[in-house]
Structure 1
Amino acid sequence: MSSESPTTPALGPELATAGRLTAADVLVIGLTAGDDGPRVVVGTRVLADDVAADLLARLRAVGAKGKAEELTRVPAPESLPVASVLAVGLGNEPVSAEQIRKSAGVAARSLTGSATAATTLSSLDLGAAAEGFYLGAYSFTAFKSAKSAPKADEQPLQHVDLLVADADADAAKAALARSAAIAEAVASAREFVNTPPSHLFPAEFAARAEALGTAAGLTVEVLDEAALEAGGYGGIIGVGKGSSRPPRLVRMSYSGGGAKKVALVGKGITFDTGGISIKPAAGMENMTSDMGGAAAVVAAVVLAAKLRLAVDVVATVPMAENMPSATAQRPGDVLTQYGGTTIEVINTDAEGRLILADAMVRACEDKPDYLIDTATLTGAQMVALGARTPGVMGTDAFRDRVARISQEIGENAWPMPMPAELRADLNSKVADMANVTNHRNGGMLAAALYLKEFVADGVEWAHVDVAGPAYNTGGPFGYIGKGGTGVPVRTIISVLEDIAANG
């Protein structure tokens, strides 16, 4: 690992289950909205009825409504060993797990400066509450010097007791372990995305991925530029040759002993200038996020090992930096993807599909049953679906399965078509294919059609475009702060769990 790498801070607060409320700075409770006013909601045997009634009276007196993610803080009754009570709105009943996750995240973010909290949200859904608190309290401060580092009253929440009924305590510990591992994996992906390209270039990214994988017991292989050149990985070499920091390909393998094998591929462009087809200067700093797909894939395969899923998973992760220079590929150049397909490079800013194609051909050599690739691939994803909704394309049944699972767990991917008529627009006069069409229509869909050419026959495939959802350039919301979001780690791991359970 590079000596330039900063010390990684704690990714989120310490989480613990507790059967009863003990001393804490604040108690976080849930409040639902209704026609007859708000209602305090807690699981059975976690908060006494008279205490809940007292809290509700206090909250109604100051105008709390229970609207989703509304925050209301009041002094605690003397009977509670806390200084104050924070009510977070859950909206109308029934309350979904995702709403609990969002409300917990909003509550966690508001508790900056508080060392300890306890919550009854966990009595409604332990996993959602744990993930929401952990991810809502996440902050990236690795590059803050003493001059600007958070002061004591600016520190994120340090510890959360997740209250559950005494009878549920043992089962809760196992459930918490799973949710804490998921939250940590999402935060790990965020950490990769938030690390600036001065410190996370291909070789460094590969080293950090290798360290994480090795610690989790994975088999890890790293191909450097010489091995990539010798192996015929023309897409990765072509994109990376404009940079003084050469590309890498990382292979991370987990054997869970299941009946199915899943290939994961993630786009790892550690910075994207657009190359010779250079991007506008405004907003280019956000291209530190162009390895969000790779970050999610690395985090997901490590998480699969930690959860001991009964499925075999192999992640193939191409990493490159797309820069303009005397050695950069030019518009009009022809390169040969791994496997032999020749490509006319019309636009060097359509580089993600070039490195993904190499990796997908290599991944299919392992004869997987399923292939999931994810990438911050096209601005067209945001034009079509906005900044928070991933687009999913691929073989119909698996595309729909991935989208359904993503919606169930709150990352809300949406299935999209691949219109056959767009494929002809990728034809080239001088090579097998061009890397872009000659128009802007359906750009996300055309990119998926490009990738489809590199999926082996018989492999169930889903392509998840997270150009907007992987990186939040606006204000915080729910359990998402500004910067890297960790999307689509939770979608990937949930699909892997579904495959392990159902084939």
Structure 2
Amino acid sequence: MTTFALRTASPAKTRAEAVVVGVLPDGVLAPGAEDVAAAYGRKLSGLLASIGINGMPGEVAKVPTGGVISSPLLVLVGLGPDAGPDAVRRAAGNAARAVTNAASVALALPADSPELVRAVIEGYRLGGYAFTSYKSQPGTPTTPAEIVVLTPAARRAEIAAAVEPAQVLVDAVVAARDWVNTPPADLTPPAFAEAIAAAVKTANKGLGKGATKVTVDVLDEAALAELGCGGLLGVGAGSAAPPRLVELTYAPQDAVAHLALVGKGITFDSGGLWIKPAASMATMKEDMAGAAAVVQATLAAARLGLPVRISAFAALAENMIGEAAMRPGDVLTTYDGTTVEISNTDAEGRLVLADALGRAVEQRPDAIIDIATLTGHMVLALGDRIAGVMGDDAVVADVLAAAEAAGEDAWPMPIPEYMDERVHSSTIADLAQYDGIRWGGGLFAAAFLREFTGGLPWAHLDIAGPTYNKGGATGHLATGATGYGVATLIELLELTAAGRGAAAPAPSAPA
């Protein structure tokens, strides 16, 4: 069990087994490490030069102190030219992987504002993340028993108040990463639904007396058939593990707004009869990351006591090649009665989201946000670090602001008018699920989803790129699942709770 503390102690005098300081490109230590710089004096520039630390992002060096400062180990991390929350979060993550076998670590990174304190805590905990559930010998843990954030502002109320939200966010991101990293044979739609229900139960037990609980309703294949959820049933028809729709509700009495969160939860995507190439199928356990994000963001909102009503929908199915699998040419009827002609069984995410969006619309929220690993087109357009955001301008602006504050990269993308014609191009059904045109597939998918939003304010996050890190760990991002979207959704909920954003009620006119 790791404990966190804020202290005003000098980093040069702390007796923690390791002390972490930031380095700027001009060869000086970043704010928070002044006492360490003073202890080394003129020797500091020579030390940095000898170990090749130039203050650039990603640089890490461990230096035995030889008694120059009280801690036996000095960890130097490059911050880059802007020592803001994003840089601090990344640097703290790099430090976490550099420090192993230390019982206590003192972080003397820039931390004189609530945003920086949150960045230090989030970065260090997320950077030290490792998924070891399937390791027979998990190895050396990277998280020490005690982590101390050193800041002269430790006694300020707003600084102390930043610790709990940071811990809640990290817990949510870690839980989402664990779900996404779980092998797909162990996280089928029924198993994932059970895991969500268990997570809700555990979260509710941890809430204080009088706190608003989260309720959960799991709709199985019989309930989905009765409701007419043809998208979920069609996608799941080829799998031995039937689909589920999990609906969560968080309804505090003091809610200032109502948001609906909808997440794609394809627990494994083979592509169906449009089977994927082997290389493209290797990480398709990640295809349920959107559902993981909306569930964990909802539970985090309950822990934080945010005054925002949340209706969350996790659409869970496995896209496989069984004897009953849907075929190109089939027509499915979604929950709201819309008929859809199937042309590509590997464009399944939009079908399960159609049912979930239809359910969300019935709740009449102030805004709907859906999040999904939806299209490879968005990866081609934006790369593997940036999510695409589409929808109504005001809601898109809120999501982009939330993503920036959360340190998650996102970029606005259009839904051109001519996409509406493409979506309605089927000659036998209301909508075409796919039209075979190579260009703008991510925009087509968003236009398709818009058909199921009931005209309500809406934004769509396509997180196909940043949800899974196929390379080495970097900054606060581990190899494998990144938990992308959890922080953005939590930040969006906090923005809404503060009375800002498109979903916030308009101020009352003066009497």
Give TM-score, length-normalised by structure 1: 0.92
Change (3 A) 1:230 1:75: same
Show the counterpart of 1:242: 238
1:173 and 2:169 aligned: no
Residue deviations 1:401-434, cap 9 Å, x none? 2123312332121010001112222221111111
- What residue in structure 2 maps to residue 144 of structure 1? 135
1:380-406 CA-partner distances (Å, limit 9, x unpaired):
010000000000000112112212331
The answer for the alignment partner of 2:38 in structure 1 is 50
Are 2:196 and 2:295, in contact at CA under 8 Å, matched by a contact in 1? yes
Deviation, structure 1 residue 41: 1.8
- Structure 1 181/122 Cα, relative in aligned 2: closer, same or farther at 3 Å? farther
Distance 1:14 1:269, change over 3 A: farther
Q: Which moved more, 1:49-58 or 1:178-187?
A: 49-58
Q: Secondary structure at 2:421's aligned position in 1?
A: helix
Query: For the residues of structure 1 that align with 2:173 and 2:110, how far apart are their CA atoms?
Result: 20
Which AA in structure 1 matches 2:175?
A: S
Matches within 5 A, 1:43-122: 43=32, 47=35, 50-51=38-39, 53=41, 56-57=44-45, 58-76=47-65, 78=67, 80-92=69-81, 94-121=82-109
Give the Å deviation of 1:374: 0.3
Q: How big is the shift at 1:284?
A: 1.1
1:446 is matched with which residue?
444
1:198 matched to which residue of 2? 185
CA shift, 1:137, in A, is 0.1
Residue 457 of structure 2 corresponds to 460
The amino acid of 1:30's aligned partner reads G
Matches within 5 A, 1:422-433: 422-426=419-423, 427-433=425-431
Equivalent residues in 2 for 1:258-269, closer than 5 Å: 258-269=255-266
Question: Residues 309-367 of structure 1: CA distance to partner in whole angstroms, max 9, x if unpaired?
Answer: 11111101110111101111111111100010001111111000000010001001000
Q: In the superposition, relative to structure 1, how do residues 52 and 419 fare at CA in structure 2: closer, same or farther (>3 Å)? A: farther
Offset from partner CA, 1:274-304 (integer Å, 9 cap, x none): 1111111124120000001011111100011
Match of 1:3 in 2: none
Residues 270 and 320 of structure 2 are in contact (CA less than 8 Å); yes or no, is this contact kept in structure 1? yes
Q: How far, CA to CA, are the matches of 1:418 and 1:78 in structure 2?
A: 61
Is 1:33 equivalent to 2:25 in the alignment? yes
Aligned to 2:208: none
User: Helix, strand or coil: the match of 1:16?
Assistant: strand
Preserved contact between residue 136 and residue 479 of structure 1 (Cα < 8 Å): yes
CA gap of 1:438–1:23, structure 2 versus 1, over 3 A, is: same
Deviates more, 1:228-237 or 1:67-76: 67-76
Return the alpha-carbon distance in structure 2 between the equivalents of residues 397 and 177 of structure 1. 30
CA distance in 2 between counterparts of 1:353 and 1:55 reads: 60
The root-mean-square deviation of aligned C-alpha atoms, in Å, is 1.8
Distance, in Å, in 2 between the alignment partners of 1:276 and 1:480 is 34
Q: Which residue of 1 aligns with 2:194?
A: 207
The 10-residue stretch of structure 1 (413-422 or 163-172) with the greater mean CA deviation from structure 2: 163-172
Distance 1:52 1:355 in 2: 60
1:215-268 deviation digits (Å, cap 9, x = unpaired): 332011111111011111110011111111111111111123222100000000
1:262 match: secondary structure: strand
Counterpart Cα distance in 2 of 1:396 and 1:360: 19
Tell me which residue corresponds to 2:172: 185
Letter of the structure 1 residue corresponding to residue 370 of structure 2: D
Deviations 1:137-182 (A, max 9, x none): 0000100113xx31xxx33132321112275265433211111111
Corresponding letter in the other structure for 2:29:
V
**Residue of structure 1 in register with 2:143 after alignment:** 157
| 1:74 positional shift | 1.6
> Does the 8 Å contact 1:122/1:162 carry over to 2?
no
After superposition, the Cα gap between the structure-2 partners of 1:115 and 1:105, relative to the gap in structure 1 and judged at 3 Å, is same
Aligned to 1:15: 4
| Residue 5 (structure 1) aligns with | none
Aligned length in residues: 481
Offset, 1:113: 3.4
Q: Output the CA distance in 2 between the equivalents of 1:113 and 1:202.
A: 38
Mapped contact 2:32–2:150 kept (Cα < 8 A)? no
Q: Secondary structure of the equivalent of 2:106? A: strand
Of residues 224, 237, 245, the one that matches 2:220 is 224
Contact 2:7 2:154 in 1 (8 A): no
Say whether residues 1:24 and 2:5 are aligned partners.
Answer: no
Letter of the aligned partner of 2:200 in structure 1? G
Per-residue deviation at 1:49? 6.1
Q: TM-score with structure 2 length normalisation?
A: 0.90
Give structure 2 stretches of 5+ with no counterpart. Answer: 205-212, 505-511
- 1:436 match: secondary structure: coil
> Is the deviation greater in 235-244 or in 69-78?
69-78
3-state SS, counterpart of residue 91 of structure 1: coil
Between the aligned residues of both structures, percent identity stands at 43
**Bigger Cα displacement from structure 2, 209-218 vs 433-442:** 209-218
* 2:297 corresponding residue in structure 1: 300
Structure 1 unaligned regions, length at least 5? 1-9
1:464, distance to aligned residue in structure 2 (A): 0.1
Q: In the aligned structure 2, how far is the partner of 1:113 from the partner of 1:332?
A: 58
Aligned-partner SS, 1:211: helix
* CA pair 362-167 structure 1, distance change in 2 beyond 3 A: closer
Q: Summarize deviations over 1:105-124 as a string: whole Å, max 9, x none.
A: 11111223333211111535
